[in-house]
Amino acid sequence: MENVNGMYSIREIYRIGRGPSSSHTMGPSYACEVMLKEYPQADTFRIVLYGSLAKTGIGHRTDYAIRETLKDKVCEIVFDEEETELLHPNTMKITAIKENKELCTKTVRSIGGGAIEFDGEEIKQSEIIYPHTSFFDIESYCEEKGISIADYVFSFEDAHIKDYLRLVWDRMKATVSSGLLKDGIIPGGLNIKRRAKMLLKKGNSKSFGHEKEIYLLSAYAYAASEENAIGEQMVTAPTCGASGVLPAVLIFKQQELGFDDEEVVSALAVAGVIGNLVKHNASISGAECGCQAEIGTACTMAAAALAYLKGLSIKQIECAAEIALEHHLGLTCDPIKGLVQIPCIERNAVAAMRAVDAVSLAEMLYENRKISLDLVIKTMYETGRDLSFRYRETSEGGLASLYVAECD
Ligand code: SF4
């Protein structure tokens, strides 16, 4: 939950970078970049990883991301799994050292989606630009001005936001296209075969209908997630682990219903502000609130984007987003061996299908709806805080612990 009176640019939700984990690779790597800029004279950096960063850092390639960023320096990385008194489950300490003398030590939290916070300082990754922090307020503002949610976003963001979203959309399509071409085993030790290409073939053999939808949505979600799993270029939406849901829905629906790229750019704006609401009022970090915060948020963003593309009203968009998130409540994060593979890849496909279903339900059920999007976001945060740490990206519970017990 962000402790500020307003929301940041949706650029914070859509970061272009390398997988497999925004909080475990992008965040730590950005923190090291900041330290490197501040202490270029340092010859050594000592990095201590705590909490989820320590427990799943190897599977999530945190050490690799850090070494890549600090490649010209000596780099000592310590995985401290014992420390439990942490302000955030993804905490790290970075010490800059020159000729064995400490120059400075900073504590950093990787708060999800690649964003970071330095203890006691404000690192400005972005300015607060949205004065509203609830869907209720955004909807009231849009109604008063007679504008859509996409226009709301464009009225607060800077003049280059559409160009940025075009870049995001191009990257999403490129990631999916490249994932659809590849066969083979995903490295990491789980011996998982890539499935996207096979699902695409199956989908293309069907005429438009429910079966084709299932195969193609899954193919696109698998393609993006399989690319993420091997550390390829992708877009967080809102995180690396959940980066297959939104592109899968948008690519499939563009093919099926013929939306043009500019319409998709507007839909990305709508999805972005929904992701922003979750980030501001709850969390998009699996280490903080479980997978409901990652895949649940991706699903709610995709549902809102599709509802917007289909020309539904603001109330129907809210309803679609609310249904999509409500039925992810309680979803745990339990990646086997700390890899962003099982359950992550398949989960992206399931969430893409769920987003499409949420929009269909919202078209019919939005009247007299009892649960608001704001309420379900708040509930997700409370549920996440109540989840045992074992289910918050530590690989110590759920599938991660049972799979190891049975098979290793
Ligand atoms: S289980 Fe969900 S939250 Fe956890 S690493 Fe996988 S995608 Fe991310």
Average pLDDT of span 330-347: 97
DSSP code per residue over 304-341: HHHHHHTT--HHHHHHHHHHHHHTTTT--B--GGG-S-
Look at the pTM and tell me if it is higher than 0.85.
yes
Higher pLDDT, 18 or 316: 316
pLDDT given for residue 121 in this prediction: 80
Structure confidence by residue, pLDDT tens digits, 249-270: 999 999 999 999 999 999 999 9
Ligand 1 mean position, distance from CA 378 (Å)? 20
Mean pLDDT over the full length of the chain: 95
Q: How confident is the model at residue 326 (pLDDT cuts 50, 70, 90)?
A: very high
Ligand 1 mean position, distance from CA 229 (Å)? 11
Which pair of structure tokens corresponds to residue 346? 């398949």
Average pLDDT of span 90-110: 96
Nearest Cα residue to atom 8 of ligand 1: 241
Ligand 1 mean position, distance from CA 334 (Å)? 7
Burial (CB count <10 Å: 0-12, 13-18, 19+), residue 226: buried
Average pLDDT of span 327-339: 96
The CB of 284 under 6 Å from ligand 1? The reply is no
pLDDT given for residue 1 in this prediction: 78
pLDDT at 2 over 80: no
What helix, strand, coil percent values describe the chain, rounded to 5?
55, 15, 30
Structure confidence by residue, pLDDT tens digits, 265-288: 999 999 999 999 999 999 999 999
Structure confidence by residue, pLDDT tens digits, 50-60: 999 999 999 88
61/236 Cα distance (integer angstroms): 16
Nearest alpha carbon to residue 116 among 56, 124, 340: 124
Structure confidence by residue, pLDDT tens digits, 27-73: 999 999 999 999 999 999 999 999 999 999 998 899 999 999 999 99
186/9 Cα distance (integer angstroms): 34
Pocket test for ligand 1, best of 393, 394, 399, 401 (most atoms within 8 A of CB): 393
Ligand 1 mean position, distance from CA 227 (Å)? 15
Distances, alpha carbon 272 to alpha carbons 108, 247, 361, in Å: 25, 13, 22
Pocket test for ligand 1, best of 90, 344, 396 (most atoms within 8 A of CB): 344
Percentage of the chain lying above the pLDDT 70 cut: 98
First-to-last alpha carbon distance for the chain, in angstroms, is 38
Pocket test for ligand 1, best of 23, 26, 291, 396 (most atoms within 8 A of CB): 291
pLDDT at 80 over 70: yes
Q: Are 273 and 148 in contact (CB under 8 A)?
A: no
Average pLDDT of span 304-313: 98
Ligand 1 mean position, distance from CA 292 (Å)? 9
Ligand 1 mean position, distance from CA 288 (Å)? 11
